[in-house]
Homo-oligomer: A and B are copies of this chain.
Amino acid sequence: MAKNIITISREFGSGGRSIGRMIAEKLGYKFYDSEIIDRVVAESGLSKDIVEKYDEYATHKRSFLYSIAINATTSGMDPYHGMSFANQVQIAQIKVINEIARDGNCVIIGRGADYILRDRDDVLNVFIYADMKHKAERVLSRYGANEKKIEDRIKDKDTKRKVFYRSFTMREWGVYSNYNLMLDSGVIGLERCADIVCDVARAD
């Protein structure tokens, strides 16, 4: 069946976000990346600073689902009562991503959307990666150099994404069974990656 929802997970510097934007343009789908932050702010009532701090990079001492279970037994009417900011952001994110998916025809970047939407059969889960040389060139040309070694900047960012994903989903980031396509954008090229995903998404 055709896929109305495309989630993109990506290594930092792989161009996954740009590929996601191309896919949205080609298919006429809505594109959600930092757009999700504003909706989470509105949903959670937290400040934008707090939401941005915990967006995609939060770590937890215990699993998210465990926290939900604890919260359900100890809280009153307020669904966010007793939760850490990290978990308040995440529960709002789950709600927002489910709403976005309900509207359909969308591309969602990161934030464990592949996991949140795992019970739907109209979702195509994509992972974009590249070798270090390609990623370093891309990050340097887009964000410039700083005092930190470029390889370390890239590895640190991906480590944070891995930790976020694990604590949020209890699955491992980048493991193929979580995705339907994994594409090396360094070898394949960004435009062709986008075309491949569109082709698969359109198929009956």
Which residues of A are in contact with B by a Cβ distance under 8 Å? 124, 127, 129, 131, 174, 176-177, 179-184, 187-189, 192, 196, 199-200, 203
Cβ contact within 8 Å between B188 and A192: no
Residues of B near A129 (CB, < 8 A) are 176-177
Min CB distance, A164 to chain B, in Å? 18
For A124, give its contact among B187, B192, B199 (CB under 8 Å). B187
Distance in Å: Cβ of A13 to nearest Cβ of chain B? 14
* Oligomer copy total: 2
Cβ-closest chain B residue relative to A192: B203
Chain B contacts for A203, CB-based, 8 A: 188-189, 192
B187 touches A180 (CB 8 A): yes
Specify which of B182, B192, B196 is in contact with A176 (CB 8 Å cutoff).
B182
Q: Within the complex, what minimum Cβ distance (angstroms) separates A132 from chain B?
A: 10
Q: List 30 A-B contacts (CB under 8 A).
A: A124-B187, A127-B176, A127-B182, A129-B176, A129-B177, A174-B176, A176-B176, A176-B182, A176-B184, A179-B182, A179-B184, A180-B183, A180-B184, A180-B187, A180-B188, A181-B181, A181-B182, A181-B183, A181-B188, A182-B182, A182-B183, A187-B200, A188-B200, A188-B203, A189-B203, A192-B199, A192-B200, A192-B203, A196-B199, A196-B200
A2 to chain B, nearest CB (A): 12
